[in-house]
Structure 1
């Protein structure tokens, strides 16, 4: 985590401790950042909470509290309906159009696409700005509405579960299994910075992948390493994974 983010989080934890009150982040944090922040919070004897609206959400808003109590995170869920019949819009189309407004990625949660609609948790202080200024996704006109996270039907992630067999848990071997590509191509992808592990670029082919890691392969998709379930007769590793779809 960069120094500015870390300093901001430490200030919020200190405020929660000194004022004996709930303090919220106004940004969303990735799993690796949350793990780091939780350690800091525990050292201060402050409870750490996180919320991303969706089940298995990865980017989450945080809360720090001396005691357990009802939490009201400063976020809202927007639904973006794109008016298109001939173009299949992807996550990057929605995310790119929103960030083109000058909005930083950490102000946005996970994106889920269902039936040409994008569902996206957003920091509350930016909702009006997005609703007023976001008129198109790419070249397609769009409409934005607010959903009630307690009453409305909230979409959830869909996964394709699969089994890969690989020679090791090195990153180059894992990428081969995930994307069905050659070892040489996987190494090239890694060295070009096209592989993210838990949202951070990893360019070392011998990086050892851990269970529960999220691996993003640009141009191929995003995967979660679920579990090692056994070995073949030739001692190759059987790994259960989930692909986000």
Structure 2
């Protein structure tokens, strides 16, 4: 199994080991293992670790059809997973919409301020003035009783059925751009049409996430499939490296969020 490490970044070794422990637990006990919410990169790693063997299988569910963050159920072959196996609840935030504008980052910050680990809740979905989020049902009572404020706005939480989820207010488009290298600062500069210096500055301010993790290293190498988000600039995914231009720059196909 040591060979699997060479396919991933060094900083991902800890999660690989954790995924291996989950798989071994299912093999040893012949019982299922439900994880917290995983980001798409973690989901990919888990798929690689568990593989397609007949004895141990996996399934992902985030609460809705377009969710990025999902819980994983690792299970023996006899189990037929249903939605209720994942223990996910959908909650909508009620607040004075006429007087206050709430944003994704504000909701995320308020949830984190309750002492809840990020892994315990899933996607936060914003559409107009409606805001919903998914959470593990095991912390439902705590959230409903303690989540009372976002910014300076008083809020209340209403639980909904999973079939009442709203659509995400974003659209992805594909485009080709050129970058001088696969360094993170060069990719940000190319994708969002900002200077290399600006890219390095926002990385240093901890405003950039690579595969859903904050990074402060401009020289970090990026690869196909990587997801990058830069606050106030947007989100992009490196879909494919298409080759080099005559000036020896890299032609890259990006997926970009169009708000």
1:242 is aligned to 2:253: no
Structure 2 match to 1:134: 147
Structure 1 match to 2:209: 196
TM-score, normalised to structure 1, is 0.83
Structure 2 match to 1:226: 239
Structure 2 contact 239–252 (Cα < 8 Å) conserved: no
1:13 is aligned to 2:26: no
Distance 1:205 1:96 in 2: 25
Distance 2:108 2:179 in 1: 36
Q: Deviations over 1:63-88 (max 9, x none)?
A: 01112513320111111122132432
Structure 2 match to 1:180: 193
Q: Give 5+ residue unaligned stretches, structure 2.
A: 1-11
TM-aligned CA deviation for residue 30 of structure 1: 1.8
* Worse-superposed segment, 82-91 or 59-68: 82-91
Q: Deviations over 1:94-148 (max 9, x none)?
A: 1111222221111111111112222211011111111122222212222322222
Structure 2 match to 1:161: 173
Q: Deviations over 1:156-178 (max 9, x none)?
A: 35224252522333322211123
TM-score, normalised to structure 2, is 0.79
Residues 1-245 of structure 1: matches in 2 within 5 Å? 1=12, 9-25=19-35, 27-42=36-51, 45-67=55-77, 69-71=80-82, 72-149=85-162, 151-156=163-168, 158-168=170-180, 169-228=182-241, 236=249, 237-243=251-257, 245=259
Structure 1 contact 84–140 (Cα < 8 Å) conserved: no
Q: Would the alpha carbon gap of residues 55 and 215 (structure 1) be closer, same or farther in structure 2, given more than 3 Å must change?
A: farther
Query: Whose helix fraction is larger, Structure 1's or Structure 2's?
Result: 2
Structure 1 contact 78–147 (Cα < 8 Å) conserved: yes
Distance 2:59 2:209 in 1: 25
* Worse-superposed segment, 104-113 or 153-162: 153-162
Q: Tell me how large the CA RMSD over aligned residues is.
A: 2.9
* Worse-superposed segment, 72-81 or 217-226: 217-226
Distance 2:240 2:19 in 1: 32
Q: Secondary structure at the match of 2:256?
A: strand
Q: Give 5+ residue unaligned stretches, structure 1.
A: none
